[in-house]
């Protein structure tokens, strides 16, 4: 049996709640996306949310054709001196997103 909650005097189905959840994230993330590629980490920092959460929401938006996604090799911005053994022959990648080419 599906749970239903009462909001504003009307019962909301799980699909309606899911749509409202997506719409809230879309409203927060779409203004940050541009025609230029941006890393999911940069978007997360700009919005002040956790990186995995923002990545999941951006991937959801790309599956609904609201954003384009590509995977690129991660570029190290600052070399850290590490006591631990350095990463050898380990490729690191990051996801980048932008508005669809034919979109707004």
| DSSP 8-class letter at 35 | S
Q: How far apart are CA 104 and CA 90, in angstroms?
A: 38
User: Looking at residue 56, what is its pLDDT?
Assistant: 94
pTM of the model: 0.71
Class of CATH domain 36-76+91-104: mainly alpha
- Report the mean per-residue pLDDT for the chain: 82
Q: What is the mean pLDDT of residues 35-58?
A: 93
Q: Where are the domains of the chain?
A: 36-76+91-104
Helix axes 40-47, 51-63, angle to 10 degrees: 120
Q: How far apart are CA 90 and CA 80, in angstroms?
A: 16
Q: How far apart are CA 65 and CA 63, in angstroms?
A: 5
Per-residue model confidence as pLDDT tens digits over 2-12: 444 555 546 67
């Amino acid at each position: 049996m599906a749970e239903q909650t009462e909001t504003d005097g009307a019962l909301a189905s799980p699909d309606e709640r899911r749509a409202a959840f997506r719409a809230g994230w879309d409203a927060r993330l779409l203004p940050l996306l541009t025609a230029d590629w941006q890393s999911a980490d940069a978007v997360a920092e700009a919005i002040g949310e956790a990186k995995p959460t923002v990545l999941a929401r951006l991937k959801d938006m790309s599956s609904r054709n609201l954003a384009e996604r590509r995977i690129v090799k991660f570029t190290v911005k600052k070399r850290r001196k590490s006591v631990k053994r350095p990463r050898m022959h380990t490729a690191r990648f990051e996801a980048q997103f932008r508005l669809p080419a034919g979109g707004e």
